[in-house]
Amino acid sequence: MKVEATPLADLKLVRADVFQDARGVFLETWNAREFARAGIDAEFVQDNLSISVQHTLRGLHYQVEKPQGKLVRVVQGEVFDVAVDIRRSSPTFGCWYGDVITAKRNLALWIPPGFAHGFLVLSQVATFEYKCTDFYAPEHERAIRWNDPDIGIEWPLPEGAEPKLSDKDAAATAFRDADTYS
């Protein structure tokens, strides 16, 4: 497994080593020793699975208390995955990083606590799974508007297409008004 830095502080891409033969494919998706060697010392307490249709946009989500680190991957389909650094003390505060994550690329993204996260489904359907370092706490959940001009995420939506949003995401807070981390 190879862990690569991104332009945002502490956000990392994880490329799994893939073993393939006539029987199929095997890859290791989590190994605590290997991740710790790469500077990711996480204890996961919850796994989530999301199945979404094309142009579904989920996010930008985070928990203001009990922040979650997330190791995200796609097991079927393709998504544009985004993390936004919302740690005021970070040199990359307010910056975003996005990458296309697919089942075929065997790529995962480590999103440490202190980031807002979202994704846009590019394929007809995508199955997205993620491991979390803290439990879901709905009373602490927050959402930042997906198209906030102060962040300026370049979502790869076809011209004229509108994302499919939940009511919560459609009513999300502007970045400048959002609860952020110190």
Residues with a known catalytic role? 61, 130
With 0-12 CB in 10 A as exposed, 13-18 as middle and 19+ as buried, what is 156? exposed
* CA–CA–CA angle 74, 62, 11 (5° rounding): 60
Say if strands 12-15 and 107-111 run parallel, antiparallel, or are unpaired: antiparallel
First to last CA, the chain: 32
Nearest to 50 by CA among 154, 121, 138: 121
Q: Where are the alpha helices (DSSP H) in the chain?
A: 32-37, 167-170
Nearest to 106 by CA among 29, 54, 30: 29
Residue pair 49/129 in contact by the 8 Å Cβ criterion: yes
